[in-house]
Amino acid sequence: MDSGETVRITHVGGPTALIEVGGWRLLTDPTFDPAGRRYFFGWGTSSRKLTGPAIAPGELGQIDAVLLSHDHHDDNLDAAGRALLPSAGTVVTTAAGARRLDGQVGATRGLEPWATTRLEGDGRLPIEITATPCRHGPPLSRPIVGDVVGFALRWAGQRDGALWITGDTVLCDGVLEVPRRIDVGTALVHLGGVRFPISGPLRYTLSAEEAVELCQLADPRTIVPIHYEGWKHFREGRAEAEAAFAHAPQLAPRVKWLPIGSPVELAV
């Protein structure tokens, strides 16, 4: 595999993906609990996990770094995922999350939006990681939902731009700023259109239509939907996303649905 031009991604389920590139093995938002349990997110919100991971933590092999969009919601970091963190080389997350995880994991790097860190290692391709803005709910919800970031990964040899993991977000000024500041080649887009009964029509992650609007602006070569299945609080799944992208003929051929549990190589 030419690590400068291709990347291998394994969608484990939910927001969890294994990204292999340039000698690195990176894991996003570790969620490995079995299905069935109900989780409480605070302020009267909760959800039940409907699907377990396609790969068990012990089957992953060594993880060099975890890209953790946020640590305080169990659909992005559950108990089994949290147990994995100490064995990972580095955890890159929000500044607030790094403070909460301090002393629980080996090396933690906390990033505010637009801050950058760098992964370097002998014989490996250096990777620059930029934290990108998210808003995980309606306006003024940050004190309730907490801090969340996405991640833009850049390395030498990328043909079309950064690998961008949006993180859990709605369409807001911060996330719309990303395509204006970063050339995006591949986008891992968190979907789901999350809503909760207690807050009615208010949305906490991208709807399919919002994802289309964001991708029209970012213009990525490849669009990889994730975090759209496996939880009861998701209001939109693959069918809704496929329908929305079908109405954007310039984007529809770029959407790549990864088979859950199987590695796929993508040109980046």
Provide the CATH number for the domain around residue 140. Answer: 3.60.15.10
Q: Which domain holds residue 57?
A: 6-267
Give the pLDDT confidence score for residue 11 in this predicted structure. 98
**3 state SS of 178:** helix
Give the pLDDT confidence score for residue 106 in this predicted structure. 83
Domain annotation covers residue 100: yes
Per the prediction, the chain carries an average pLDDT of 95
Give the pLDDT confidence score for residue 5 in this predicted structure. 63
Number of separate domains in the chain: 1
* More confident of the two residues 214 and 104: 214
Domain annotation covers residue 130: yes
Work out whether strand 65-67 and strand 90-94 pair parallel, antiparallel, or are unpaired: parallel
Alpha helices in the chain (DSSP H): 79-84, 95-101, 142-145, 173-181, 208-218, 238-246
Domain annotation covers residue 163: yes
pTM flag (> 0.75): yes
Q: Are 138 and 144 in contact (CB under 8 A)?
A: no
Domain annotation covers residue 1: no
Taking the C-alpha atoms of residue 97 and residue 231, their distance in angstroms, rounded to an integer, is: 23
Q: Give 90-131 pLDDT, tens digit per residue.
A: 999 999 999 999 988 889 999 999 999 999 998 999 999 999
Domain annotation covers residue 138: yes
Domain annotation covers residue 102: yes
> In the predicted model, what is the mean pLDDT of residues 76-96?
96
